Amino acid sequence: MDVFRYLAPESVEETLQLLDEGAGGVKVLAGGTDLLVQMKERGLRPGLVLDVAGLHELRGIRMEGKYVWIGPLTTHWDLAHSALIREHGLALAQGASKVGSPQIRHRGTIGGNIANASPAADTVPPLVVLEAEVELRSLNGSHWLPVESLMEGPSRTALRPKELITGVRFPHRAPGSRSQYEKFGSRQALSIAVASVAVAAVQEKGRFARVRIALGSVSPTVVRATRVEEILTGEALGEDLIAQATASVAQQCRPIDDVRGSAWYRCQLVEALLARILLCWGEEWMAG
Amino acid sequence: MSKPKFRSVGHNQRKLDGVALVTGKARYVDDIELRGMLYAKILRSPHAHARIVEIDVREARSLPGVCAVLTYQDVPRIQYTTAGQGPPEPSPKDTFVLDDKMRFVGDRVAAVAAKTPQIAEAALKMIKVEYEVLPAVLNMEHAMDPDAPKVHEIPSANGISIPERNIAAQVEVTDGDPGRGFAEADLVVENLYRVGYVHASHTEPHICITYLDETGRLVVRTSTQVPFHVRRIIAPLVGRPIGQIRVIKPRIGGAFGAKQEVLLEPLCALLTLKTGCPVRLQLTREEVFVSSRTRHPQVLRCKVGVNKDGIIAATQLDVLANTGAYGSHALTVQCNTGSKTLPLYRTLQYREGVNNVHFKATAVYTNLPVAGAIRGYGAPQGYFALDTTMDEIAHRLGMDPIEFRLKNLIREGDSPALLEQLGEGREGVKQVLKSCGLRECIRRGRAEIGWDEKRARRDQGPVKRGVGVAVLQQGSGIPGIDMGAVTIKLNEDGSFNLLAGATDLGTGSDTILAQIAAEVLGTDADKFSVLSSDTDLTPFDTGAYASSTTYITGMAAKKAAGKVRKMILDRAARMLSERGEDLVLEDGQVRGRKESVSLGEVCSDALYQHDQEQIMATASHISYDSPPPFSAHFADVTVDTETGRVKVLEYIVAVDCGTAINPQMAEGQTLGGIQMGLGYALSEEYIFDDRGRMLNPRFMDYKIFSAADMPRIKVILVDTFEPTGPFGAKSVSEIPTNGPAPAIANAIFHAVGVRLREVPFTPERVLAALKSRDT
Ligand SMILES: Cc1cc2nc3c(=O)[nH]c(=O)nc-3n(C[C@H](O)[C@H](O)[C@H](O)COP(=O)(O)OP(=O)(O)OC[C@H]3O[C@@H](n4cnc5c(N)ncnc54)[C@H](O)[C@@H]3O)c2cc1C
């Protein structure tokens, strides 16, 4: 590894200042579970590493108005164990609980997972279906951007080099709504998703409304399955509908063959995972 | 069988090096600091098959901090085999320390020694190589085609079976008249099975540190299973007589066969001789994956014929094996694929006294990573094919798979004729089975898993459940070849030093040898200070392989201890003025009818008082028997028919290893072997691109079973007594690896009615098999 400068700023302001001066050669370090791998093994050579782990204001989970607010430094472990997250965005808790291993979940953060923009990132499909937004802040000010719009390609986001993610939020759970995340990895731990599916929807008088479906690991970014959302919207769950939905989900994927699985298999998985979520909901909706 | 009560053998003695290991005090190869030590790095071929046209190292050599750069032009042009086996080595001598021809992606181009690892890395980048890229053999099934590129050149081929057809080694043996057996059989089942590249996944990578001691002798501190073979094999390569070389094996972080290889030592030693400095050469994990040794990929054709009563009439196994770019263990691993599997089933019941068995194996070269020894040594491949075939026959006959096996399994007193023909690269040695707890293994495992209820179970929904069985054997050492020697000496406080050539790799053999010696000497294993594997200080041992140490070296320890015991009793008889036969040696005391003396007093008497001498003895042991341990494995699995995921819920292993010298460690060996076998069965595989480059040389993408994946495993040790082993012991270390692939394949069949004939049974492969059945 080459020589680089390391600074641990003490405030968000100072961090933004340093990012502004750094002109691109700067990398923010949160848990380091992506960044250090990239530096040690993938030839990433930042001139300056900004360790933000000490910025406590960027940590935590709380209610803010009609949103659940999450500090970007919140770890997967804390997300998975938060009662607030489980109540309002179960899919996100499920996604966080499936990241890596206990060690990785204790270090890795939601901000890092979002900024790293892997198509396999386990919190991103849940965030997309929960209509989450991220707050991007620079010396010039801040704005909220939907997570979905942030993702531009594998490892590419709309996050500018001078910007810091300073918050993540998603709306409270509406009455009758629910969300779920299913990941398929090739083993029980330390397994990047071969494919994943997140679904959020509201049940209104036995029918689907506000359906959002996001797919992981089957396209260059996490993608919405809008076609399938349309099929489900306004309909009541039943075997035929599930069959119709799963039959069309693969068309929404642009998967590749890689060491984790073939394109064919990824499509099979997306169908199976979607069917699994819908079946499980179907049974519960029938039951009551 | 009622057995004598032992004080040390059969007890869960704590590992002698256990506390040092878990507190981080134990020293591995890398845990020394030598003044002026250099760091070596290897430049590796980016091409699967290429010739170096020109190599320019001037810039690299002139980089400050670089002390030596070696290419093929700088090393002696001597061919050797990296396989650590006794001479005459059964593996072809097809390897140069450095060569101008590259035979796989990752083959060695050049080596650099520099003051820091960073400088060494930088120097590698400055080496300019011009390659003539050659067409490569990347598919083992086409390696023998007439127009296939030749991996090894005909003039320099050395011990290679048929270099012009890329055949590294081949073997064929027949007993009886299999053709007639098949013709007369009521049912013949024949199928192809495939097994791929697998990594040994030892924690400590290959590493070696070499230096010159104060007298100028070459010292090689290395992570090896075969210190004495290292010393002998490197001597000509580094141009030094054996007497000028000392090989030290410190603590080892696992090896599993991949370190039964003389891989780094010659290169590292040449760098030391070139620079006069200590040199450290450690592989990265990626290098271990790509350039150390793997399990041999094989395509196996297995054919078994039976009559309608389920009596086997003939068995046949044809193996095509991929040895990769070099022929390390090419012949012997393939021999084992037959000799460790086929004899498990008798074929002589069908026509009284006549066996009908045929075995053939051909190991071919390809431009892919090099295979070698790995735990099981050919048997895991063979059992996948053979045991799955047996299961299929049972099914086709409508018999319970266990009942079918029970009709045909080997029995005490049997002497499989195949073993006389098929040894380790040479003719075998007649074996008569003296202990066999196989039926007891099956009986207890069957009860523990609840076989009869679970076979009858039928389930609804997309996730199906099934149970499968596999029945296995292995060997204990190589008959007539493996030799181990042990020296024991007594100290004034009643403690002993035990010096053994045997190589504890984390396997626990130091402790086992102490337990055996302690048993003979009526004391505790803790009273032994064990020093193993230093070619200057310990007697010879062929090394830690072929499941040999407990059985072979253990017997040497027993014999050496017997001699020491006699010296102690003779002297104590004089000291106590009693007759030898009236003395009892126990609890560190020699008790006479009236008085007793302690071991310490006996030693002091010997060292300082009368007829002074060191009470010590050395003994060697070799065996012409290689008694097989036996095992029955039972897997209870679910198969998710929508994703293809196979989950192992419960795994039962019943194993007959004779007397378990240390039951807890025998269980540990078994658990470890199952963990390896589960990965082999379900998730581990090398993935290559179309140019022979491995795409997943890291543990994130090469999936071994993690702690979270492990099923509940229950190990049942079935007690037998092997008369040729120390206190009745046989081996236990390799056999568990053989079971998971067939047991799980059979369980999958029970669950969903689909036969998987290629490992690993990844979810994708299982799903594809389910889909192709359904269409
Ligand atoms: C062994 C292993 C297993 C893994 N398994 C999984 C898995 O199963 N699923 C999964 O999704 N991921 C997995 N990961 C990836 C990783 O752990 C996650 O992406 C994690 O959430 C990254 O968070 P971090 O805090 O460690 O990020 P870091 O490595 O610190 O940062 C990652 C990137 O985000 C940027 N960044 C971080 N915080 C901010 C911020 N506040 N503002 C702007 N930019 C920021 C960094 O500059 C960097 O570019 C695994 C990683 C490892 C090493």
pLDDT reading at B77 higher than 50: yes
Into which CATH architecture does domain A177-287 fall? 2-Layer Sandwich (3.30)
pLDDT reading at A1 higher than 60: no
B536 CA to chain A: closest CA distance, Å? 40
Task: Choose one of B606, B622, B638: the last residue of a domain.
Answer: B622
pLDDT reading at B1 higher than 50: no
pLDDT reading at B440 higher than 90: yes
Provide DSSP, B459-526: --SSEEEEEEEEEEE--SS-TTT-EEEEEEEE-TTS-EEEEE----SSS-HHHHHHHHHHHHTTS-GG
A189 pocket-lining for ligand 1 (C-beta < 6 Å): no
The set of residues, in sequence order, having a beta carbon less than 8 Å from that of B450 and lying 6+ positions away, is none
List of chain A residues whose C-beta atoms are within 8 Å of the C-beta of residue B701: 259-260
Q: Is residue B342 part of a domain?
A: yes
For residue range A22-53, list pLDDT tens digits in order.
Answer: 866 899 999 999 999 999 988 899 999 999 99
A165 pocket-lining for ligand 1 (C-beta < 6 Å): yes
For residue range B638-661, list pLDDT tens digits in order.
Answer: 999 999 999 999 999 999 999 999
The set of residues, in sequence order, having a beta carbon less than 8 Å from that of B461 and lying 6+ positions away, is none
The verdict on B324 and B405 lying in the same domain is yes
Task: Mark yes or no for CB contact B705/A187 under 8 Å.
Answer: yes
A114 pocket-lining for ligand 1 (C-beta < 6 Å): no
Q: How many residues does chain A have?
A: 288
Task: Mark yes or no for CB contact B708/A189 under 8 Å.
Answer: yes
> Which chain A residue has the Cα nearest residue B763?
A186
Segment B749-757 shows an average pLDDT of: 97
From ligand 1's centre to the CA of A32, what distance in Å?
6
CATH code of residue B39: 3.90.1170.50
Q: Tell me the count of A-B CB pairs closer than 8 A.
A: 48
The SS3 assignment for B345 reads: strand
pLDDT reading at B763 higher than 60: yes
From the number of C-beta atoms within 10 Å of its C-beta (0-12, 13-18, 19+), residue B88 rates as: exposed
The verdict on B607 and B556 lying in the same domain is yes
Q: Which atom of ligand 1 is nearest to the CA of A104?
A: 17
Residue A125 near residue A215, CB atoms below 8 Å: yes
The span from the CA of B633 to the CA of B469, in Å, is 6
For B78, phi then psi, to 5°, come to -120, 135
For residue range B594-631, list pLDDT tens digits in order.
Answer: 999 999 999 999 999 999 999 999 999 999 999 999 99
For B85, phi then psi, to 5°, come to -130, 165
User: B640: which strand partners?
Assistant: B463
Residue A116 token pair: 């790293």
CA atoms lying within 13 Å on the CB side of residue B444? 17
From ligand 1's centre to the CA of A110, what distance in Å?
7
Q: Is residue B429 part of a domain?
A: no
For residue range A150-198, list pLDDT tens digits in order.
Answer: 999 998 999 999 999 999 999 999 888 999 999 999 998 999 999 999 9
Q: Which atom of ligand 1 is nearest to the CA of A98?
A: 8
Sheet arrangement for strand B584-586: B584-586, B589-591, B596-598
The verdict on B751 and B606 lying in the same domain is no
CA distances from B551 to B7, B433, B440, B491, B546 (A): 19, 15, 22, 27, 10
From ligand 1's centre to the CA of A45, what distance in Å?
17
List of chain A residues whose C-beta atoms are within 8 Å of the C-beta of residue B706: 101, 187-190
For A228, phi then psi, to 5°, come to -70, -35
Q: Is residue B285 part of a domain?
A: yes
Q: Is B763 on the interface with A (CB under 8 A)?
A: yes
pLDDT reading at B53 higher than 60: yes
The verdict on B92 and B234 lying in the same domain is yes
Task: Mark yes or no for CB contact A189/B709 under 8 Å.
Answer: yes
Region of poorest pLDDT, from A184-188, A282-286, B373-377, B416-420: A282-286
Q: Which atom of ligand 1 is nearest to the CA of A110?
A: 21
Name the pairing type of β-strands B101-102 and B128-133.
unpaired
Q: How many domains does chain B contain in total?
A: 4
The SS3 assignment for B14 reads: coil
From the number of C-beta atoms within 10 Å of its C-beta (0-12, 13-18, 19+), residue B406 rates as: middle
From ligand 1's centre to the CA of B373, what distance in Å?
39
Residue B411 token pair: 């029995």
The span from the CA of B123 to the CA of B117, in Å, is 10
Provide DSSP, B186-238: SEEEEEEEEE---B---SSPPEEEEEE-TTS-EEEEE--S-HHHHHHHHHHHH
By a Cβ cutoff of 8 Å, what residues of chain A touch chain B? Answer: 101, 184, 186-192, 194, 259-262, 265, 268-269, 272-273, 275-276
> pTM (2 decimals)?
0.96
Into which CATH architecture does domain A5-171 fall? 2-Layer Sandwich (3.30)
Segment B134-149 shows an average pLDDT of: 98
Cα B334 to the center of its chain, rounded Å: 13
What are the extents of the domains in chain A?
5-171, 177-287
The verdict on B73 and B168 lying in the same domain is no
**Which of A137, A196, A119, A131 lies closest to A170, judged by CA?**
A131
The verdict on B661 and B608 lying in the same domain is no
The span from the CA of B95 to the CA of B91, in Å, is 11
The set of residues, in sequence order, having a beta carbon less than 8 Å from that of B285 and lying 6+ positions away, is B205, B697, B698, B699
Under the banding of pLDDT at 50, 70 and 90, the label for residue A112 is very high
The set of residues, in sequence order, having a beta carbon less than 8 Å from that of A43 and lying 6+ positions away, is none
Q: Which of A184, A189, A259 sits opposite B701 (nearest CB)?
A: A259
CA distances from B530 to B16, B368, B398, B557, B665 (A): 8, 41, 55, 11, 17
Q: Is residue B491 part of a domain?
A: yes
Task: Mark yes or no for CB contact B687/A259 under 8 Å.
Answer: yes
From the number of C-beta atoms within 10 Å of its C-beta (0-12, 13-18, 19+), residue B198 rates as: buried
Predicted pLDDT of residue B3:
56
pLDDT reading at B484 higher than 60: yes
The verdict on B666 and B757 lying in the same domain is yes
> Which chain B residue has the Cα nearest residue A100?
B700
pLDDT reading at A288 higher than 70: no
Residue B393 token pair: 């026959």
Q: Is the dihedral of CA B425, B429, B435, B437 positive or negative?
A: positive
The span from the CA of B463 to the CA of B640, in Å, is 4
For B251, phi then psi, to 5°, come to -65, 145
> Which chain A residue has the Cα nearest residue B286?
A41
Q: Is residue B7 part of a domain?
A: no
List of chain A residues whose C-beta atoms are within 8 Å of the C-beta of residue B765: none
The set of residues, in sequence order, having a beta carbon less than 8 Å from that of B196 and lying 6+ positions away, is B297, B685, B686, B758, B759, B760
The verdict on B398 and B386 lying in the same domain is yes
Which of B13 and B417 is assigned the larger pLDDT? Answer: B13
List of chain A residues whose C-beta atoms are within 8 Å of the C-beta of residue B768: 265
H-run or E-run covering B317: strand B312-324
H-run or E-run covering A228: helix A226-232
The verdict on B224 and B328 lying in the same domain is no
The span from the CA of A51 to the CA of A36, in Å, is 12
Predicted pLDDT of residue A24:
62
Cα B60 to the center of its chain, rounded Å: 39
% of chain A exceeding 90 in pLDDT? 88
Q: Where are the alpha helices (DSSP H) in B239-358?
A: 265-275, 285-291, 330-339
Residue B182 token pair: 């098949």
Same-fold call for A5-171 versus A177-287: no
ipTM surpasses 0.90:
yes
The span from the CA of B629 to the CA of B242, in Å, is 36
Q: Which atom of ligand 1 is nearest to the CA of A163?
A: 43
A104 pocket-lining for ligand 1 (C-beta < 6 Å): yes
Q: Is residue B616 part of a domain?
A: yes
The whole-chain average pLDDT of chain A stands at: 94
Peptide bond into B178 cis (omega under 30): no
Q: How many C-beta neighbours within 10 Å does residue B183 have? A: 12
Best interface-test mutation with B: which of A98, A101, A269, A276 has the largest number of B CBs within 10 A? A269
Task: Mark yes or no for CB contact A187/B708 under 8 Å.
Answer: yes
Residue B347 near residue B313, CB atoms below 8 Å: yes
A27 pocket-lining for ligand 1 (C-beta < 6 Å): yes
Segment B697-721 shows an average pLDDT of: 96
Whose C-alpha lies nearest to ligand 1, atom 52?
Answer: A33
The verdict on B701 and B608 lying in the same domain is no
The SS3 assignment for B551 reads: helix
Q: How many residues does chain B have?
A: 775
**Which of A170, A30, A149, A190 lies closest to A91, judged by CA?**
A170
Residue B144 token pair: 């023998």
User: A277: which strand partners?
Assistant: none
Predicted pLDDT of residue B349:
80
Task: Choose one of B565, B587, B622: the last residue of a domain.
Answer: B622
Whose C-alpha lies nearest to ligand 1, atom 38?
Answer: A112
Select from A4, A18, A27, A33 the residue to mutate for testing ligand 1; criterion: most ligand atoms less than 8 Å from CB.
A33
Task: Mark yes or no for CB contact A184/B763 under 8 Å.
Answer: yes
Predicted pLDDT of residue B347:
85
Task: Mark yes or no for CB contact A190/B683 under 8 Å.
Answer: no
From ligand 1's centre to the CA of B766, what distance in Å?
32
Task: Mark yes or no for CB contact B687/A191 under 8 Å.
Answer: no
Question: Which structural domain range is residue B613 located in?
Answer: 18-26+483-622
pLDDT reading at B353 higher than 80: no
The set of residues, in sequence order, having a beta carbon less than 8 Å from that of B60 and lying 6+ positions away, is B66, B69, B112, B123, B124, B126, B127
The set of residues, in sequence order, having a beta carbon less than 8 Å from that of B218 and lying 6+ positions away, is B210, B211, B212, B238, B240, B244, B245, B246, B269, B272, B273
The verdict on B91 and B46 lying in the same domain is yes
Segment B203-223 shows an average pLDDT of: 98
> Which chain A residue has the Cα nearest residue B767?
A265
Q: Is residue B693 part of a domain?
A: yes
A222 pocket-lining for ligand 1 (C-beta < 6 Å): no
Predicted pLDDT of residue B4:
60
List of chain A residues whose C-beta atoms are within 8 Å of the C-beta of residue B683: 186-187
A99 pocket-lining for ligand 1 (C-beta < 6 Å): yes
The verdict on B265 and B123 lying in the same domain is yes
